[in-house]
Amino acid sequence: MEACRNDFIARSYVMATFELYRRSTIGMCLTETLDEMVQSGTLSPELAIQVLVQFDKSMTEALESQVKTKVTIKGHLHTYRFCDNVWTFILQDAMFKSEDRQENVSQVKIVACDSKLLTQ
């Protein structure tokens, strides 16, 4: 039972980290690049996945240790969901403030993975 649970956590960890930041513009640009190179036969799918995995690590590390910006978010919570250790929120009329600027959006989706799964 314990082994199953640990395996589930390990797999959740894998899924929680490795997929999240790929949806960003930098991640999508990489995915498209790798896709093209695999399609043209320049790069094998196995190597493409290894590069993508490295992206996950590099991106996470940069956001955790190199970025220094702090932000506050306020808004109306329209929808929420917690599933597979991932919170998804849809906010309406949201306001983002940092020390030098502010952004307002009428609707925004937040996808957040459990940071505790990464401190291993």
Partner 1 sequence: MDASNTSDAYIRITNDVISKSRNDLVFTGELDESVLTELHSIWRRKMIQAGVIRGTIETSSPPIQNPNPLHGYAQNKSGIDSDPQFPSTELGLSIKNEGEGLYIPQQDGASDDIKPSAFAPHDDDDESLNEDDDYEEDDINDDEDIPHLIMCQFDYVKKRKNKWECKLKAGVMQINEKNILFSETKGDFTF
Positions 81 through 100 that interact with partner 1 (CB under 8 A) = 81-84, 86-91, 96, 98, 100
Positions 33 through 92 that interact with partner 1 (CB under 8 A) = 33-38, 42-43, 45, 47-52, 54-55, 57-64, 66-84, 86-91
Residue among 2 and 115 whose Cβ is closer to partner 1: 115
Q: Please classify residue 113 by burial: count the beta carbons closer than 10 Å to its beta carbon, then call 0-12 exposed, 13-18 middle and 19+ buried.
A: buried
| Residue 25 engages partner 1 in binding (rule: CB under 8 A) | yes
Q: What single DSSP character describes residue 85?
A: T
| Residue 42 near residue 59 (C-beta atoms within 8 A) | no
Residue among 6 and 81 whose Cβ is closer to partner 1: 81
Tell me which residue has tokens 């640009």.
29
| Residue 10 engages partner 1 in binding (rule: CB under 8 A) | no
Q: Cα–Cα–Cα angle for 101, 19, 91, nearest 5°?
A: 40
Task: Kindly state the smallest distance separating residue 48's Cβ from partner 1, in Å.
Answer: 7
